[in-house]
Structure 1
């Protein structure tokens, strides 16, 4: 299975990552990736960038070393109503928007509160991907979550970093979520969540899990450029319309 797209990559602007946009693009080119997302954390993450940094990504070329660069953010969900730490006036101009629950920004709620936050954030038309929903710190009602993703056409991330270095205990949750995605025909995206350029496109553990589940390749959206760009077009992303 060939992964051509990695939408979850952090630069030095995230405060706890170690590479530049250019270094990430070099590595992506070496690995044969066609698209990468630059998705630094939102400003409420300790050490994260100011919203001006996120907005100013228009200065980044659309293609570097032959790799398409999607300008984006991993915004932080701040409350159970699904409010994000990046204003909509900025979100609407981005190529890709990831939203996630991070314990560096909020205290986890109970399973109902965590689920409510994710269901509400998926009502935001600018949100494309929910990051690392298998994080055991934020337990959720998995089937409700997957069905809402189907309704809102939101991609569910299988996050490689969760299995390698962070969010220990995620695998069982991710397996259950992936099984539900397979059952209900909900697309997923395998992302690296890289914090250094060498990890760009590194999704080996995520793919291993998806193969265990028997996920049909047509439900893994980043195995096909055409499938991925059609998704963004359907979402109304200006760059692809």
Structure 2
């Protein structure tokens, strides 16, 4: 189970104390593996996040995305740059809902960067759902999915439920990845083991980064 509340720049999001307190959680509860984390918000065109590195250093699942209110918006080039720079952050594990229409982006560049960096990009079921349909979201999702199939970068399927009865609802996302030809090998969350192995590899990458840059607390 991943626990990824929005980062603190989102109105109504938990205070940083919440993320600090996640460090007390055990690795497993009642046979369920626990992944305390965050859905961090990109805050500027340089792809900076709203979470200090001292928190990112011990969280186990770091999702990153663009959200209105938290990000000022910009041109297509600026928004694309912000998204890709956040993807290059060694603390980023996965990028979320690139198909949302709030900010225009070059979706082909994002898919290409995902393949080069081996950072999964989400196919977001909520963005495809008629329940929460927003103008342009479905077509954007189809576009990014086609580019992900073309460049063969890693993909994560997400329900982005926002309500308990839609947790784990992937039907429209599964339909889309089949439609555009994304292979099963590209989809990270086809098993718990693949997700955990990937996160272990990201922690190794993060450790190597910290060793070259000095202790993480120097950035906090």
Contact 2:4 2:37 in 1 (8 A): yes
Contact 1:159 1:193 in 2 (8 A): yes
Q: Which moved more, 1:119-128 or 1:162-171?
A: 162-171
1:181 to 141, 148, 152: 148
TM-score, normalised to structure 1, is 0.79
Q: Does 2:70 align with 1:111? A: no
Contact 2:43 2:72 in 1 (8 A): no
Partner of 2:53: 88
Contact 1:108 1:138 in 2 (8 A): yes
Aligned equivalents of 2:181 and 2:71: distance in 1? 35
Give the secondary-structure state (helix, strand or coil) at the position aligned to 1:171.
Answer: helix
Contact 1:136 1:167 in 2 (8 A): no
Aligned equivalents of 1:102 and 1:53: distance in 2? 20
TM-score, normalised to structure 2, is 0.86
Q: Does 2:31 align with 1:66? A: yes
Give the secondary-structure state (helix, strand or coil) at the position aligned to 1:189.
Answer: strand
Q: Which string of whole-angstrom CA distances, capped at 9 and with x for unpartnered residues, describes residues 95-141 of structure 1?
A: 11011100132232121111010111112101011110011121111
CA RMSD in angstroms comes to: 1.7
Q: Which string of whole-angstrom CA distances, capped at 9 and with x for unpartnered residues, describes residues 132-188 of structure 1?
A: 001112111112111211222211001111122446131111111111111111010
Gaps of 5+ in 1: 1-35
Gaps of 5+ in 2: 206-220
Partner of 1:77: 42
1:97-136 to 2 correspondence within 5 Å? 97-136=62-101
Structure with the larger RCO, 1 or 2 (CA within 8 Å, 6+ apart): 1
Q: Which moved more, 1:99-108 or 1:182-191?
A: 99-108
Q: How many residues align?
A: 203
Q: Which string of whole-angstrom CA distances, capped at 9 and with x for unpartnered residues, describes residues 202-225 of structure 1?
A: 111111111111221111110123
1:232 to 199, 212, 216: 199
Q: Which moved more, 1:207-216 or 1:63-72?
A: 63-72
